Amino acid sequence: MVNMSSTTNQRTLLSKMATGDGHGENSPYFDGWKAYDNNPFHLTQNPQGVIQMGLAENQLSFELIEQWVLNNPQASICTAQGLQEFKDTAIFQDYHGLPEFRYAVANFMGKVRGNRVTFNPDRIVMSGGATGAHEMIAFCLADPGDAFLVPTPYYPGFDRDLRWRTGVQLIPVVCESENNFRITRSALEEAYERAQEDNIRVKGLLITNPSNPLGTILDRETLVSLVSFINEKNIHLVCDEIYAATVFSQPAFVSIAEVIEQENVSCNRDLIHIVYSLSKDMGFPGFRVGIVYSYNDAVVNCARKMSSFGLVSTQTQHLIASMLSDDEFVDTFIVESAKRLARRYTTFTRGLAQVNIGCLKSNGGLFIWMDLRRLLKEKTFEAEMALWRVIINEVKLNVSPGASFHCSEPGWFRVCFANMDDLTMQVALRRIITFALQNKEAAVLPAIKRQCWQNNLGRLSLSFRRFDDFTMSPMSPHSPIQSPLVRAT
């Protein structure tokens, strides 16, 4: 017999955090992952399964990493060649991190930014991935009830990373499609004033550059404007730059570290902080290598003490230090990774454009911001969720709806394209294209003919044989379509 009071007892016995839903797991963003976990696609074993396009993971250059590991067995303490380092690596290490690790990461951060800026290894503070880094910086900068301004749309995990255990609030800065979701001074001022009216103390502005989910980068002029804003308000600027090396075409990525060194920029550097990791640029999310780089000495000291709760293992530090110290490998990897991301982006967006599916023009990240507004039955978030459920349950693609990114307009979806092989990508594109064509025909064909059309899908003028040849052929890394939305002509 079920004890009807068990829920009440749990709430009495456990903390509010343990019994609450502050993690944010009950959202479409995570529900899509569950749908994939319950029915994962496999080319041969489960070809009708759900394809994972909700995971921003970079697997396009992984064999370069694997080849380096094979060529450098001494980098691992778990090989005969690396055994001599086993004891010194396995015994106690303090929370500062291995000196060679901090130096290698600082050097890599500079390389990723074109060596236009240098980073001080003594300011490198490690954490358990970018998740831990964001929480760490929130603990250092804000008290429970304080807030950060965050331009929309933004990564759903921020609701967990910055809010769940810290008690910090996130206040959206509404950005809109009419200007390609750019951050404007007026939108910042509006969000700040709204917080003031609600008696909420704003402690900082959090930006992602390149953007997740937009895949766009912030230009130098915008970054200068943001620095001016936070200086005037005397609030912090936290810059998430974890996608810095995923920029695959012009314009080039500009780091906040470059901007604050400009002669014409007046800046209190104590307000500037960078969050970085190797999860996206190198494709190492499982290694949990997160970094806080702050220009504020007090923040560095506090964060380093807090890092005791989420250290990177010394075994991982040892391997990463060895790999990132190989300048020839790093230089080759950065260039080749960008080429492959550009090719995949171009292939994917051109495939969508063939059926008039647009996306925000972007040049960074591991995803596109897909525009399905014309497929909505009405311009509401309820209609967006209905469309998303069809895509998950019938098209069998895990894409993430814009609502889960706090987008202000329904009909946008984030689609990740770098976490799968070429053949899986072709299957995913086929499914999207077929779905788009079905919806187009459904709008013009009488119901009596609709089923007949679906049964003869293979007779469509778009030949999938020719489509396969198209998607596998070499392509220019730059899309020839120059409008903000990539569309078929």
Token reading at 104? 């290698």
pLDDT at 463: 37
Q: Is 88 part of the annotated catalytic residue set?
A: no
Q: Name the active-site residue from 146, 159, 161, 240.
A: 240
- Report the distance separating Cα 450 and Cα 156, nearest Å: 38
155 noted as active-site residue:
yes
Q: What is the per-residue pLDDT for 60? A: 92
CA dist., res. 171 & res. 278, Å (int): 28
Q: Whole-angstrom Cα distance, residue 345 to residue 116?
A: 26
Which DSSP category does 485 fall into?
B
What are the residues whose beta carbons fall under 8 Å from the beta carbon of 1, sequence distance 6 or more? none
Which fold, 73-325? Aspartate Aminotransferase; domain 2 (3.40.640)
> String of b and e for 137-167 (b: at least 16 CB within 10 Å)?
bbbbbbeeebbbbbbbbbbbbbbbbbbbebe
CATH fold of 20-60+341-472? Aspartate Aminotransferase, domain 1 (3.90.1150)
Residue boundaries of the structural domains of the chain: 20-60+341-472, 73-325
Catalytic residue among 29, 103, 154, 155: 155
- pLDDT reported for residue 358: 93
Q: What is the pLDDT of residue 449?
A: 39
Beta partners for residue 414, in sequence order: 369, 400
The yes-or-no answer on residue 240 being catalytic is yes
Among candidate residues 137, 260, 280, 432, the one labeled active-site is 280
Q: What's the confidence (pLDDT) of residue 28? A: 76
Q: Which of 77, 235, 242, 320 is catalytic?
A: 242
Active-site annotation holds for 230: no
- What is the predicted pLDDT for the residue at 89? 63
CA 200 and chain centroid, separation: 28
Low-confidence ranges of the chain (pLDDT < 50): 1-2, 4, 443-489
